[in-house]
Structure 1
Amino acid sequence: MFLLLLLALPLAEADTPAPEGSSTLVVGVFESPPFAFRDSHGDWTGLSVELWRTIANDLGTKYSFKAFARENLIAALEARTVDVGVADFTITPDQERHFDFTHAYFASGLSIATRRGVEGLAETIFVHLSDPIHLYVIATLAVMNIVIGLLIWCCERNHNPQFHGSPYLGIWHGLWWSFVSMTTVGYGDKAPITFLGRMLGMLWILSGIVLISIFTGSMASAITVNRLQPSVRGPEDLPRVRVGAISDSDASQYLVDRQIHHLSYATVSDGLAALEKESIDAFVGDAPLLKYRVAHEHTSRLWVLQHPFEREFFALALPMGSHQREKINRALVNTIHQPDWNLVLYRYLGHGKQ
């Protein structure tokens, strides 16, 4: 009698009812928004969690969620102590050596999170002044100033007391006049009086207006663009900046394969916090996870690059040789081809099928 009473009690952790006599699947899960996370009531939700609930409902399967740390869930799948892994699992050759996967239910890729306007004004000006093109322009202007200063001294030295004195002092006066004329400041303390000197002065002042306008316009444009756009604009920029990624992840393997030095972090939240504190300049990870975290926690200072790279396919994880795989796959394929699946994608990711 006591045994019958025990059998009649519902399982506390079961998430859905099941047909009488059916076994309860243990579904391993860990925090990985938007694929799996707890809502305000403490219940598991997310893209992969909702997919699993639909599959289990179609199959009439009883299950219970069991929370793990990421590495512990992977170990549990290898040890076959859980029946399904529900989170941000991606199909990779390395992981397929340790456990199995269902069909893919979503395709995306890696992306890069970086800061908005990472450089201050002084740093930005210094960076652009040291640019080879700007250095060439500055050197050209300096040489032209010296040449014009010498010419105006030659024209005025015997006729204009403002350019009299020793050659060194006279040349210095010529350089001073050349500089203030080029910048159109025109203090008026020195002015040519000879015909050749005035003709040279008019040409130099007109040239100065054009040259200074081009230079200042180029600098202003470069500074404005730099402060509106991040310092990292794609994966080709990663070798020259400080990079972070989750340890033992697809992103980490991508960086290792390309010999890009990077710092390792336990979670996406840890990596984005380091990025905001300027410990790193870029954080590489799965595009959906980065976009979700940045949109909900770091929208003012961070952003995620628009175009993912290194294609990834998300799937549910199963123990190697799981007898559940075939029927789960049939239900999964049926689910992702229903119109309601697009609504689920919009709810968690902000877009439909990719």
Structure 2
Amino acid sequence: MKNRWFYIVFLVLFGATSLHALAQADTLTVGIYHNPPFVIHTEEGGYEGLSIELWENIAASADLTYRYKEYSDFIGILKRLEYQDIDVTINPMDVNDSRVQKFDMTQPFFISSIGVAIPFLNRSPFTVFISNIFSLAFLEIVLLLIFVIFVFGFFLWLVERRHNKFQFRPGILGLFDGLWWSAVTMTTVGYGDKAPKSNMGKAIAIIWMFTAVIIISSFTAGIASTLTISGLQTDIKNAEDIRLANNISVVGATNGESYLLQEDIPIHKTYASPIIALRALAKKENDVLLYDRTILQYYINRLSLDEKVKLLPFTLKENYQSFMLPKNHPDFDLINVGLMKEIQKERWGDLQRKYDVKGN
């Protein structure tokens, strides 16, 4: 009799344990990280956002049981996916060759692109021109030009002062004569009031004439470039203009950083988060910020930076974004079909408007 009761208790406990294990096995672990407006960790400890609501609609339609597991960033999620510790990540993940080979990627549900943000300047063209003229970079070029003119003028005066005392006088006045000759020769004005008479002086003059042609072209280009770069806040109109910018900032380990590295464009500063990067841009600590356009727009609105930061109308490199699962996951087809059905519904457009985002 005792043995019978023992077996009954054992079977009940074993059955309960098995059911619990089955329930756990059927519960999908959804890896997420805080990434507004797609995944937002609320103050109450819950989650909301575009990806969260999209996933919950898919799960409800497919009758999926799940639990969220939060990570600090997408790198942690990629590692857990590779080890198959999680079943799916619903943060938008860029589709690329290496990821398609390692993971199952769903139908893209969003198209992102690299946005370009600059400080918002309420300055007139005249103010911009004046500030450029008195900028340190412009002043350095002008001073270097004067120095080169003085060097050649000094050498000519040194040679001519004994052979041509009337045109290249002794002392300080003679130095000014040399500077005057050097300047008018460089600019090809050539008044003819001063000319070398000695053979050495003529040789210096010939060298200076040919050198001046090269130097004046280089300095003209340098001055034009300096003025253009200084006024970039109003002159960036396309991707090519990015190359002219100084002080370009990015957020680390993002498409913006990858783009600049691929294009061999120098990065001035790398930030840990878009919030820090945008606030630095608003303070004019940088000239340009490259980051995901959707997220930039979201934070500009949420942080009330629309009067301090301007998001330019063009975008750089587009990226298709998807949910991601471990390779050969048994629920991939179910989730993928559910996603495709969901993004064709009218409420998907409502969700994008709710979170003030729109894929390109």
Tell me the TM-score normalized by structure 2.
0.61
Report deviation, 1:330.
0.5
Distance 1:119 1:256 in 2: 32
Match of 1:276 in 2: 282
Match of 1:339 in 2: 346
Report deviation, 1:92.
2.3
Q: 2:114 aligns with which of 110, 121, 130?
A: 110
Give, as a single letter, the amino acid of the residue that structure 1 aligns with 2:266.
H
Q: Is the 8 A contact 2:88 2:324 kept in 1?
A: yes
Match of 1:243 in 2: 248
Distance 2:342 2:113 in 1: 22
Q: Is the 8 A contact 1:112 1:234 kept in 2?
A: no
Distance 1:126 1:278, change over 3 A: closer
Report deviation, 1:307.
2.7
Give per-residue Cα distances to partners, 1:21-78, cap 9 Å, x unaligned. 8611111111111111123433111111111111111111111111101121121112
Distance 1:325 1:28, change over 3 A: same
Q: Is the 8 A contact 2:41 2:48 kept in 1?
A: yes
Counting matched residue pairs gives 252
Q: Which runs of 5 or more residues in structure 2 are unaligned?
A: 1-11, 139-226
CA RMSD in angstroms comes to 3.3
Match of 2:59 in 1: 56
Match of 1:152 in 2: none
Q: Is the 8 A contact 2:92 2:110 kept in 1?
A: no
Distance 1:119 1:7 in 2: 71
Match of 1:30 in 2: 33
Distance 2:287 2:134 in 1: 22
Q: 1:322 aligns with which of 308, 322, 329?
A: 329
Q: Which runs of 5 or more residues in structure 1 are unaligned?
A: 12-18, 133-221
Distance 2:122 2:102 in 1: 41
Q: Is the 8 A contact 1:108 1:308 kept in 2?
A: no
Match of 1:15 in 2: none
Alignment of 1:6-155 (within 5 A): 23-70=26-73, 71-117=75-121, 124-127=129-132
Distance 1:266 1:235, change over 3 A: same
Give per-residue Cα distances to partners, 1:289-343, cap 9 Å, x unaligned. 1110111112231121123231211211212332222111100010011111110
Tell me the TM-score normalized by structure 1.
0.62
Distance 1:7 1:273, change over 3 A: farther
Give, as a single letter, the amino acid of the residue that structure 2 aligns with 1:325.
F
Give, as a single letter, the amino acid of the residue that structure 2 aligns with 1:268.
P
